[in-house]
Amino acid sequence: MRFLGDGCIETCQSDGSWSKNTSLCGGTNSGWKGSRGSGFAVCSELLVDYPCYKLNHPDCVVGNSCSGIQGTCNSSCPTPTAADRCACGG
């Protein structure tokens, strides 16, 4: 997988070619500073307390650690909420 400057993601196909995942392109800015490299790849360290984040936001990719350098996420990756904690009454 590689991240493109326009917020899109490409995946390597079995024939060695790259295929752009158009469902992960464009969109609007969520305003949450939780991504690095792509507005669709959330910094893993920011989701430690939100185990259901990926389940609740399937178009968002959980990336590697951002080492404290975050950019703005796309609307597919909104700010985590209590619903992303997966806990009763939480």
pLDDT, one tens digit per residue, over 65-80 is 888 777 788 777 889 9
Residue among 12, 9, 10, 67 nearest 41 (CA): 9
Under 8 Å between Cβ of 1 and 11? yes
Residue 49, pLDDT > 90, answer yes
Please state the φ and ψ torsions of residue 28, each to the nearest 5 degrees.
Answer: -105, 160
The model scores a pTM over 0.75: no
* pLDDT value of residue 81: 92
